[in-house]
Amino acid sequence: MPVIQKKSRSFRQAKRRRLFLSTFAVLFGVVSAQAALASNITVASPVSGTATQSPLWVRAHNVGCNGLTPTAFGYSVDNSGTTTMGVTPYDIDRTNVSIGGGTHTIHFKAWTSGGICPVVSTTFNVGGSSTSSGGSSSGGSTSSGGASASIPSYARASADLDVSNNWAYEHDAGTPGSSRGSTVFPATTPLYDNAREFYMTYSNRGGERWHNSFANDTSSTHFVLDTYVYVKDPSQLANLELDLNQVMSNGETVIYGTQCSVYSHTWEWTYYGGGSPHWHSSNISCNPRSWSANTWHHIQIGFHRDSSGYVTHDWVNFDGTHSTFSGASGGSAKALGWAKGSLLMNIQMDGYNSSGSITAYFHKTMFYRW
């Protein structure tokens, strides 16, 4: 059985303190939410507006349009009349795609029984600097710390974690009140029938944590989380936390912690200070209670570390908007006695009200690492 790795008591205590800081600084505005996958095509790589290198990893997901399932999915490059078809009508996943230097545009095209869907394009620069600060699909600019927002062709992809049967869960004792959780796969949802449901009831702003030990890797230093999230009633949700834990070869555990928080209205990130982990607000706005209910949101988060466990949180893509963290770096490694090489994902939801319930669905939850 996988080792269940939990956060330290000091980490939980820090979270409890944050929950009661009603005067926590509010930065910028709230993230605008879109209607459910308005384009119906989401692009994972290359990210629009970024600089990357050849060969590319070309990856996108398609759900059809106008209520019809897709019959074909492909892409063309620049003004080429040649369309390369995807591995299925739902997915394009091609590694080692060679393309010359300069600015290029990939046009993603989907068809249903009703004809062609709206085309989604991603424009990027090969072997140069960032092309813009936004884009038509996954959007973006190059990330902080010199880490590209595109996933390189040599990156390793995890299995689809929705399907995994390694999920376990418990109440986070560092939050006030109580919670009880469950999870089930597959769960039928709008657009997807292969999503995983995460359900919890809570009192007094209690939080529930789910975790999955999915791989063993001490050498990877760069990671991208890629997932789709659907929350039935965001007004119940105070924080959505998405973490990765990695145990390095020296036995120290690196916590790559990120969460969308109602209290700071930002994507928060974790670091160690004074011997214990802490949450820090960021320059990237986010408020889970502002998300549209019953809507699929595409979330990608990039981060990396150095050999000592000093972590830089690079960027977030949310519903087609790419945002780069500013100054989101700090030491994040500590010896906790966990198994070397373990890679573990945490998903945590904290309740916002005195009592209530939260239902969320996750689809195509994957980590890329290199």
Q: Note the pLDDT of residue 128.
A: 53
In this prediction, residues 151-169 reach a mean pLDDT of 92
Evaluate if residue 318 carries a pLDDT over 70.
yes
The residue behind tokens 């939990």 is: 6
DSSP lists the bridge partners of residue 181 as 200
At the topology level, CATH places domain 9-33+158-369 in Jelly Rolls (2.60.120)
> Which is more confident, 120 or 28?
120
- Local structure of 317: helix, strand or coil: strand
User: Is pLDDT of 137 > 70?
Assistant: no
- 147 compared with 80, residue with greater pLDDT: 80
In this predicted structure, what is the pLDDT of residue 45? 86
Q: Classify strands 120-126 and 51-52 as parallel, antiparallel or unpaired.
A: parallel
pLDDT of 319 reads 83
Residue pLDDT, tens place only, 272-284: 988 888 999 999 9
pLDDT digits (tens, 9 = 90+) for 305-317: 999 999 999 999 8
| Helices vs. strands in the chain: H and E counts, helices first | 1, 26
Q: What is the pLDDT of residues 331-370, one digit of tens each?
A: 999 999 999 999 999 999 999 999 999 999 999 999 999 9
Find tokens 């990210």 and name the residue. Answer: 47
260 to 72, 113, 267, 273, 281: CA distances (angstroms): 35, 38, 5, 21, 10
For 261, half-sphere exposure in the C-beta direction (CA atoms, 13 angstrom radius) is 26
Whole-number mean pLDDT of the chain? 84
- Provide CATH 2.60.120.260 ranges for the chain: 9-33+158-369
The label of the residue with tokens 């384009």 reads: 39
> Mean pLDDT across the stretch 172-196?
91
Whether residue 198 is predicted with pLDDT greater than 60 in this model: the reply is yes
The angle at the Cα of 357, spanning 356 to 360, to the nearest 5 degrees, equals 150
What CA–CA distance (Å, rounded) separates 246 from 340?
8
Tokens, residue 142: 């190059």
**Nearest in space to 244 (alpha carbons), one of 227, 225, 230:** 225
- Of 2.60.40.1730, 2.60.40.10, 3.30.559.10, 3.40.50.1370, the CATH number of 41-136 is 2.60.40.10
Q: Where in the chain is the domain with CATH 2.60.40.10?
A: 41-136
On the question of pLDDT at 134 being above 90, the answer is no
Q: Percentage of the chain with pLDDT > 90?
A: 66
What tens digit of pLDDT does each residue of 38-51 get? 457 888 888 787 78
* pLDDT, position 366: 94
The dihedral over CA atoms of 159, 163, 167, 169, expressed in degrees to the nearest 10, equals 130
- Has residue 138 got a pLDDT over 50? no
Give the CA-trace dihedral at 86, 88, 94, 100, to 10 degrees. Answer: 10
User: How crowded is residue 1: how many other Cβ atoms within 10 Å of its Cβ?
Assistant: 6
Query: Which pTM was predicted?
Result: 0.75
34 has a pLDDT exceeding 60: no
What tens digit of pLDDT does each residue of 50-64 get?
Answer: 788 899 889 898 888
